[in-house]
A and B are shown apart, each in its own frame.
Chain A
């Protein structure tokens, strides 16, 4: 006879277990995520969009504690709004990433969140920045979240410089699907956003349309 009739997930921190990814290409970036939010062993949201708009030309992908990540993204959304009105132009991707980095570094002991910032600006084109732990680093591509460990080998082997936007969309979809297949905290659908000079384009790839990979189909013993 259980002592408490309360489900365990009510007492667990809500986390975007997660796999997130962003890739630069000539003329823009592609940023993608899975859609699972877990509280302990329960999936509390299976369709969460973890790609958060920081400005028209800059998005960020959220991972770690859902609350912490959303809080940081909301603050930077506000700061960037002010900044771009004051400057009279679209913000630089590096400015957005810097703001995220400043908060992540200042509160690094309290926060458990990693945001990947990606976007396009006129000065440097498509850019992807990692902000893990409060550092700021520009990378050709970045992966993050609990599911990212399973795809380091895949992205290292598959990435080549000079991919087109379609190549990057396929690369990101494949990588996220592979991670979702192995990480219990990642799953659901794949959200994709591509950002170029012309603007942003959002896409969802539903579960049944995800690429299929080897799945241990034959149990031989």
Chain B
């Protein structure tokens, strides 16, 4: 009987017997919303905490703010594997460079290292990275290295799938000369709005403030996120 049925519905039968869920065959991606803002004396960086494989949330408390050096961090978006591999490589290269120099490395140097790798392997990689930190030559700086491998410094930068929804918000709310607290509030607001609209972003908001005195990390849990009238 099985042989008789096989001819007619062969393709359908083999699909029905696939026992592995769809998400085991999907690439792990940091769907994501990431952001970094310069202020006088440092930078504020923020990210959501959701990592997805298809529709399954593989990690709901991800830390997408990765330390590259004492006062240089990066925000990762795109393929989780690719960005982790790139960040590991740059961390090594920058650490080595800093020992040679016998000095803290420049944020621009870190950004350049990311750019070199992201541009050289642009066809194979899926990585959108924001590099930010503090150094004594130029103070707080934000550099964006989007997919494709260009690199440009910006007063603030947003990235990841959720960033599309907040371009209007950040364009209208950003003002030059904000204080550290104002930048933290601006970032938390923007990330919350994006997380509300983008299915691939969510969880908690992770923040990091980097200045001459060091790095301060904060987490804003789901129930403490800023709320807006329309939600």
**Contact between A150 and B155 (Cβ–Cβ < 8 Å)?**
no
> Chain B residues near A156 (CB, 8 Å)?
169, 193, 196-197, 228, 230-231
Interface centre among B108, B141, B229 (most CB of A within 10 A): B229
Residues of B within 8 A of A157 (CB): 169, 173, 189, 193, 228
Within 8 A of B (CB), among A170-221: 174-175, 178-179, 181-182, 213-216, 218-221
B154-173 Cβ-contact flags toward A at 8 Å (1 or 0): 11000000001111111111
Q: Known contacts A140-B230, A153-B197; is A181 also within 8 Å of B164 by CB?
A: no
Count A interface residues, CB 8 Å: 29
* Chain A, Cβ-Cβ closest to B174: A214
**Does A116 count as interface, using CB distance less than 8 angstroms?**
no
Who on chain A is nearest to B198 by CB? A152
CB distance from B39 to the nearest CB of A (A): 14
B156 closest partner in A (C-beta): A214
Nearest Cβ on chain A to B109's Cβ, whole angstroms: 13
CB of A159 within 8 Å of the partner chain: yes
Contacts of A159 in B (CB 8 A): 228-230
Q: Is B68 an interface residue (CB 8 A)?
A: no
> Does A20 lie at the interface of the complex (its beta carbon under 8 Å from any beta carbon of B)?
no
From residue 158 to 176 of chain A, which have CB atoms closer than 8 A to chain B?
158-161, 174-175
Interface residues of chain B, those whose CB is within 8 Å of chain A, are 108, 141, 143, 151-155, 164-175, 189-190, 193-194, 196-197, 228-231
Q: With contacts defined as CB atoms under 8 Å apart, how many contacts are there between chain A and chain B in the complex? A: 84
Determine the chain B residues whose CB is within 8 A of the CB of A155 once the complex forms: 168, 230
Could you say which residues of chain B place their CB within 8 Å of the CB of A220?
A: 141, 153-155
| A154 at interface by CB-CB < 8 Å | yes
Main secondary structure of the interface of A (DSSP, over half): helix
* Residues of B contacting A215 in the complex (Cβ-Cβ under 8 angstroms): 171
In the bound assembly, the distance between CA atoms of A158 and B165 in angstroms comes to 14
Cα distance A154–B228 when bound, in Å?
A: 11
B189 to chain A, nearest CB (A): 7
Q: Which of A141, A150, A216 has the most CB of B within 10 A?
A: A150
In angstroms, how far is the closest chain A Cβ from the Cβ of B57?
21
Give the distance in Å from the alpha carbon of A178 to the alpha carbon of B165 in the complex: 11
Q: Would B229 and A160 count as touching, CB distance under 8 A?
A: yes
> Is there an interface contact between A153 and B230, defined as CB atoms closer than 8 Å?
no
A95 interface residue, CB < 8 Å from B? no
Known: A157-B193, A178-B171, A181-B171. A149 touches B230 (CB 8 A): no
B168, B174, B228, B230 pick with most chain A CB within 10 angstroms: B168
A217 to chain B minimum Cβ distance, whole angstroms, is 9
Contact indicator B165/A149 (Cβ below 8 Å): yes
The CA of A174 and the CA of B141, in the complex, are separated in Å by 29
A151: Cβ under 8 A from any B Cβ? yes
A140 to B231, CA, bound (A): 12
Q: Name 13 extra pairs, CB < 8 A, besides A152-B193, A221-B108.
A: A149-B164, A149-B165, A153-B169, A153-B193, A153-B194, A155-B230, A161-B229, A175-B168, A178-B171, A213-B172, A214-B175, A220-B153, A220-B154
Q: What are 6 of the A-B contact pairs (CB < 8 Å)?
A: A140-B230, A153-B170, A159-B228, A178-B171, A215-B171, A221-B108
